[in-house]
Amino acid sequence: MYEADRALVSRMRAGDQRAFDEFFKDSAPRLIAFIARRTALDPATLEDIVQSALIKAVRHLASYRGEAALFTWLTEICRNELADEHRRANRRPAHLSLDEPEAAHRWGGMLRAPDVHEPVSLLQAAAERAEIVKVLDGLPANYALVLEAKYGDGLSVETIARQLGLTEIAVQSMLARARKAFRRRWQRRPAP
C-alpha cells in the first residue's frame, strides 16, 4: 500500500541524494505544521524538535517497514520527541520564587504573560484551533491525516493519493468520510 514510501526510503538508504531532497521537501514543512498545530512551542524549540525527529528518522530508516505512510511514521517519532520534551520540562523547577530580588531580576525578561495588546479575536482563534485539533486527534488516524494534508498542508487530492498509495477516487471518498466524522464530533463536542 505504501510502495512509493518504501521505494523512497530504499533509495535514501542507498545514498540517493535526490531521494533525500524529496524526503525533506515533502516531510519537513508538514512535520513542522503538524507540531505547530498541537503545541504552543516557540519557533526555536519547534525547530529543535523537528530536527531531532528527522535525525532519528534518517538514522533508523531501516526500521521503516512500509506498514504505515512514511509521514505517519514520522509523526510517531515526533510524538515521542514531544513526550521527551514534556518529561524534561516537568523535571525542571515548576516555579521560581520572585521574592528574591536577584531571581526576580534574572527571570524578569523570561516570564511570558499574555500580551494585553493581543486582540481578543486572536485569543479566541487560538482556543478554537486547539478545540479543532483535539477533535481531529480523536478521529481515526487516516482521517486526521487526510484532513490535515488537505486543509492544513494545502495538498491536492492527487498528491495525497500519491503519498498514500491510493487512487484519487479512494482519497476523495476518504476525505468525505473524514469530513463527516469530523462534523459529527465537532457538533457533539462538550460545551466549553
Partner 1 sequence: MTDERSPNSDSAPREDELLISALRTPALSQDALERVRAAVEREWLAATVAGAAPGSQRTAPASRRRWFALAAAVVAAVGVASWLARPPAPARLLGSVSRTDEGALSVQSAHLPRRNLMQGGELRVGDRVTAQGPALVVLARGGTLRISAKSELAVSSPSQISLERGLIYIDIPSATGPGNPLRIITSAGAIEHIGTEFEVLSDDQAVRVRVREGRIRFVGRTNTVVAGAGTELLAAPGKSIVQRSIDTFGRDWSWTAALAPDYEIEGSSLIRFLQWVSRELGRPLNFADANARQIADRTILHGSVRHQAPIDAMSNVLATTSLTYEIRGGAIWVRSGTSAAL
Which positions lie near partner 1, rule CB under 8 A? 12-15, 20, 24, 28-29, 32-33, 36-37, 42-48, 50-51, 54-55, 58-59, 61-62, 85, 88-89, 91-93, 96, 106, 109-110, 125, 128-129, 132-133, 147-148, 150-154, 156-158, 168, 172, 175-176, 179-180, 182-183, 186
Indicate the residue among 1 and 169 with the shorter CB distance to partner 1: 169
CB of 115 to partner 1, least distance (A): 15
CB of 165 to partner 1, least distance (A): 17
CB of 105 to partner 1, least distance (A): 8
Indicate the residue among 31 and 68 with the shorter CB distance to partner 1: 31
Q: Over the Cα atoms of the chain, what is R_g?
A: 20
CB of 117 to partner 1, least distance (A): 19
Indicate the residue among 72 and 172 with the shorter CB distance to partner 1: 172
Indicate the residue among 92 and 117 with the shorter CB distance to partner 1: 92
**CA 12/CA 6 separation, integer angstroms:** 10
Q: Which residue type sits at 109?
A: G
The torsion angles phi and psi of 60, rounded to 5 degrees, stand at -120, 35
CB of 172 to partner 1, least distance (A): 4
Indicate the residue among 93 and 114 with the shorter CB distance to partner 1: 93
Indicate the residue among 54 and 166 with the shorter CB distance to partner 1: 54
In order, the DSSP letters of the chain are --HHHHHHHHHHHTT-HHHHHHHHHHHHHHHHHHHHHH----HHHHHHHHHHHHHHHHHTGGG--SSS-HHHHHHHHHHHHHHHHHHHHHHS-S---SSSHHHHHHHHTT--PPPTTS-HHHHHHHHHHHHHHHHHHTS-HHHHHHHIIIIIS---HHHHHHHHT--HHHHHHHHHHHHHHHHHHHHHSPP-
CB of 167 to partner 1, least distance (A): 12
